[in-house]
Structure formats: structure tokens, C-alpha cells
């Protein structure tokens, strides 16, 4: 019975979770495959300080990833380092040495996955990347196989657990963004530099990957509209609740006759929708197919074990293909070839909007704002104001009926210049389709 041999580079959260599963679930994995997966080499900068599961007592330990990628007893390399520099070198070198690659690296795959796949095809090896989006949710497998017979029309995701944790804590406890962020950092849920999470860049990389699988389009992350959660405050949750909504950092992708619309932005979602029920560090993806209608996928978006399951399952799939000896490979992007498109500008979307103001109170404020909305042909829907003592920083909310975002933005820009504004208005779209 021929085994398939694995080299693991990166022994942090994901690498250690992967090793724990490969050791703890070894018998079941072998039973499923019909042959063993054997770890033959592990690598990290501080590999000699790491405690490995007993099962791996005899494996090669090295601080030099080059030893792993050229090792004659490694068939598959798991790149679990992250980032775009060393990780790229590891993957390229592994491919050059004829090794298949499993990676959890969303940043690199979103930027250069298509080129890496081209190289992998050229070298006759496989590239697998399930763990790169939504950790424990097998959304790649769903789009690549489970519903590949459908045509994806729309996809929505809560793809960043840190932001979702912060938003749900703010909502439940009425705590401000900065203090919840500090707590999340203390608990290890948020990085010391939280920008990738709270400014939406991590979610944007994941959306770019899902858009490739869903639509067959290669979309550069930098071309996706992104807005983070820093401006959301506890009062926004109160107003959203009054309107029957919650606030989520929503990734959205829509197919239209004229192209694709993609965005990552804080959005009001109806409280009865399934995505509004996604709390804490959980992730979810909802897909609307042209034929199969709605399907929803939910689970832990990160963490050593949930992400480790995705890596191990990819290792198993790749190992089966190596054993079958077939040169045919299913594209990890679910499409044989990716087209390349600029997404459409989000400003062409027609949406209802939530506008939150902080003003110095004086007569005529609503009239001034209504005048600007009327001038831009934006119809006002409702005005809401919670009781408030302060006259020099008075919050209130206006909702507007579905309008082209372009007109709404022009109105908001004009409003921001009014002398009674304490800060520029906050404008959040309201998602009607969920």
C-alpha cells in the first residue's frame, strides 16, 4: 500500500492544528483513503522549540523551507506560513520540484492564484486552497463541485470573524468600537495591527477568491469596493434595531447582464435574515443560484482545528489524485480558465440607505438635509431620533428609499459641508435581498 508523503511549512495556528488532526485522526484518514498520509518533514523558523505530536517524533525538522520542497520523500507541500513574499517562494519552488501544494493563504491566492494554477498545470501537479476562505466552511468544495451545475447569480458572506465578533459585542453590550477592539486584541481574536480585519482587506481577499470560483472571473482585490467598520458606533445598532436590522460587514457579489458588482462594507441586514443571526467569530456564506435558488453555509471561519480540517481534507484530495496517477486536474477556481474583468462601480447600484448624522442642534436642520436630498432626487423615507440630552452633538437618522448610490453620495458630500455637522454623515446601504 503506497503512502503519500507530506511536508508542512509553517507551524503556527494552522500548521499546529493540521498536525494535531493528522496525528489524532490518522486511522480514520487512512481508512477513508485506503492508504496512509505520512508527514515526513516539518519546518518553521523556531521549529526546534516546538512540541510536535508523538506520532511525528522521527520526522525531519528544519528551519529552511527549501529542504522541505526539494525533499525526495515529500509529495505534497502544505504552505501554512502566510503573506505574499516567502509563501510565494515556497509555492513556486514546490511546483518547480514537482510537488503538489496545499495552502491556506488568502492574500497570495487572491493576488496571484491564477498564475500559480497555470504553473501547477504546466508542472502536472495540483494546487488546493480550501482553507483560504472561511476556515472551517468548505465553500470551495461547494462552488467547485457541490453546486457547480448551477449559475451563481449572487453571493453574500460574513467572511471576517474578527469584525463580526467586534460588531456583535458592540451590539450586545453597547460598547464603543475602540474598547471592543482592545478586548479582542487581548483575547487574541484581533492582531496588534487590526487593519486587515477592521478595514475590510482580509474579507476583500476572500471575496476576490470566491468571485473567481462563483463567476469564473479574475478580479483584483484592489478593484473591489471596500469600507471597514471603524465608523460604526453603538448608537447605530440602536437605530438599526428600530428599523428591524442588524449591522454586518457584508461581502456581496452580484452577476448582472452588464458585469459584476462586488463590495465589502458595513451593511444593514434584516434581523430575520439568516446572515443577521451569524454572531461572534462565526462566518457564513449565502449563495443564490439561477436554478437551485438559495443555499447557506455556516461555521467557524478560523482557528487551528477548523482551518486544520480544511487543510487535511485538501491533503487527502490531492493525495487521492497523486495515487490515481491521472494527469487531469480539477481547477481549484472551479473554472478551467478565468476571464479578467473590472467590476462595475458600486455607485450604479440602487439601494435604500441609512444615513446617520451628528449635528449641533438648531432650527432648520431637517429642512436643509431634505432640500439637498430633493435636489439630488433622493426620496426620504423616515426620520428617527432617540432621546438625547446634548444639543451640541445630537444624533439622528434618516432613511432614504432605493436610489442610485451615485446620487446618494453627491448628497452626502454636500451635507458633509454644512456648518452644523459634527462629523460627515455615515451612509450604510440596506440589503433588501437577504
Ligand X SMILES: NC(=O)c1ccc[n+]([C@@H]2O[C@H](COP(=O)([O-])OP(=O)(O)OC[C@H]3O[C@@H](n4cnc5c(N)ncnc54)[C@H](OP(=O)(O)O)[C@@H]3O)[C@@H](O)[C@H]2O)c1
CB nearer to ligand X: pick between 163 and 399: 163
Among positive and negative, which fits the CA dihedral 140, 142, 147, 150?
A: negative
| Residues of span 301-360 touching ligand X by CB under 6 A | 302-303, 307
C-beta of 89 vs 273, nearer to ligand X: 89
Contact between 12 and ligand X by CB under 6 A: the answer reads: yes
| Shortest reach from residue 92's CB to ligand X, in Å | 14
Which 56-95 residues touch ligand X, going by CB under 6 A? 65, 80-82, 86
Among 13, 100, 160, 283, binds ligand X (CB under 6 A): 13
Question: Which residue stretch of 8-16, 143-151, 344-352, 370-378 sits at the interface with ligand X (rule: CB under 6 A)?
Answer: 8-16
**60-87 residues labelled b (16+ CB within 10 A) or e (exposed):** bbbeebebbbebeebbbbbbbbbeeeeb
206 annotated active-site? yes
Q: Segment near ligand X (CB under 6 A), from 13-21, 218-226, 281-289, 379-387?
A: 13-21
Per CB under 6 A, which of residues 17..56 are in contact with ligand X?
Answer: 43-46
Closer residue to ligand X in complex, CB, 143/232 = 143
399 binds ligand X (CB under 6 A): no
State the virtual CA torsion across 385, 231, 345, 222 in degrees, nearest 10. -170
Minimum CB–partner distance for residue 63 and ligand X (Å): 7
Question: Which residue, 130 or 236, has its beta carbon nearer to ligand X?
Answer: 130
- Compare residues 33 and 110 and give the one whose CB is closer to ligand X: 110
Give the number of residues in contact with ligand X, rule: CB under 6 A: 24
Instruction: List the Cα angle 311/63/67 in 5-degree steps.
Output: 75
Crossing angle of helices 106-123 and 86-96, rounded to 10°? 10
Sequence-separated (6 or more) residues with CB below 8 Å from residue 158: 164, 248, 249, 250, 251, 275, 278, 282, 283, 284, 285, 301
d(CA 58, CA 61): 9
Q: One of 206, 242, 350, 376 is an active-site residue; which one?
A: 206
Residue from 19, 111, 117, 135 in contact with ligand X (CB under 6 A)? 135
194, 315 contact by CB (below 8 A): no
Under rule CB under 6 A, which residues in 105-134 are in contact with ligand X?
105-106, 131
| Contact (Cβ atoms closer than 8 angstroms) between residue 34 and residue 324 | no
The span from the CA of 273 to the CA of 402, in Å, is 19
Distance, CA of 425 to chain centre: 27
Residue 280, interface with ligand X (CB under 6 A)? Answer: no
Where does residue 156 rank: exposed (0-12), middle (13-18), buried (19+ CB within 10 A)? buried
Contact footprint for ligand X (CB under 6 A): 9-15, 43-46, 65, 80-82, 86, 104-106, 131, 135, 302-303, 307
Annotated catalytic residues are: 206
Amino acid at each position: 500500500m503506497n503512502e503519500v508523503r507530506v511536508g508542512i511549512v509553517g507551524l503556527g495556528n494552522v500548521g499546529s492544528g493540521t498536525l494535531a488532526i493528522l496525528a489524532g485522526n490518522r486511522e480514520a484518514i487512512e481508512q477513508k483513503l485506503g492508504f496512509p498520509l505520512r508527514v515526513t518533514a516539518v519546518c518553521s523558523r523556531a521549529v526546534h522549540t516546538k512540541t510536535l505530536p508523538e506520532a511525528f517524533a522521527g520526522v525531519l525538522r528544519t528551519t529552511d523551507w527549501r529542504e522541505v520542497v526539494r525533499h525526495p520523500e515529500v509529495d505534497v507541500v502544505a504552505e501554512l506560513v502566510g503573506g505574499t513574499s516567502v509563501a510565494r517562494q515556497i509555492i513556486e519552488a514546490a511546483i518547480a520540484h514537482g510537488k503538489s501544494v496545499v495552502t491556506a493563504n488568502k492574500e497570495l491566492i487572491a493576488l496571484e492564484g491564477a498564475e500559480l494554477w497555470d504553473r501547477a498545470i504546466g508542472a502536472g501537479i495540483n494546487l488546493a486552497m480550501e482553507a483560504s476562505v472561511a476556515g472551517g466552511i468548505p465553500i470551495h468544495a461547494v462552488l467547485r463541485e457541490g453546486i457547480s451545475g448551477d449559475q451563481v447569480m449572487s453571493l453574500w458572506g460574513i467572511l471576517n470573524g474578527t469584525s463580526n465578533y467586534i460588531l456583535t459585542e458592540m451590539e450586545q453590550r453597547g460598547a464603543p468600537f475602540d474598547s471592543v477592539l482592545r478586548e479582542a486584541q487581548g483575547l487574541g481574536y484581533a492582531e496588534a495591527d487590526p487593519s486587515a480585519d477592521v478595514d475590510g482587506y482580509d474579507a476583500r481577499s476572500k471575496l476576490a477568491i470566491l468571485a473567481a470560483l462563483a463567476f469564473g472571473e479574475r478580479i483584483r482585490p484592489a478593484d473591489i469596493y471596500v469600507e471597514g467598520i471603524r465608523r460604526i458606533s453603538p448608537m447605530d445598532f440602536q437605530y438599526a434595531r428600530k428599523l428591524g436590522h442588524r449591522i454586518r460587514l457584508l461581502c456581496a457579489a452580484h452577476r448582472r447582464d452588464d458585469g459584476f458588482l462586488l463590495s465589502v462594507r458595513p451593511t444593514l441586514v434584516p434581523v430575520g435574515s439568516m446572515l443577521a443571526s451569524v454572531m461572534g467569530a462565526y462566518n457564513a456564506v449565502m449563495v443564490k443560484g439561477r436554478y437551485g435558488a438559495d443555499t447557506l453555509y455556516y461555521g467557524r471561519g478560523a482557528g487551528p482545528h477548523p482551518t486544520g480540517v480544511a487543510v487535511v481534507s485538501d491533503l487527502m484530495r490531492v493525495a487521492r489524485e497523486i495515487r490515481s496517477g491521472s494527469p487531469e486536474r480539477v481547477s481549484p477556481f472551479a473554472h478551467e480558465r478565468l476571464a479578467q474583468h473590472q467590476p462595475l462601480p458600486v455607485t450604479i447600484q440602487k439601494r435604500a440607505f441609512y444615513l446617520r448624522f451628528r449635528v449641533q442642534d438648531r432650527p432648520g436642520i431637517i429642512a436643509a438635509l431634505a432640500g439637498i436630498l430633493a435636489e439630488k432626487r433622493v426620496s426620504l423615507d423616515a426620520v428617527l431620533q432617540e432621546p438625547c440630552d446634548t444639543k451640541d452633538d445630537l444624533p439622528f437618522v434618516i432613511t432614504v428609499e432605493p436610489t442610485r448610490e451615485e446620487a446618494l453620495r453627491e448628497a452626502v458630500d454636500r451635507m458633509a459641508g454644512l456648518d452644523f455637522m459634527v462629523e460627515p454623515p455615515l451612509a450604510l446601504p440596506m440589503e433588501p435581498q437577504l
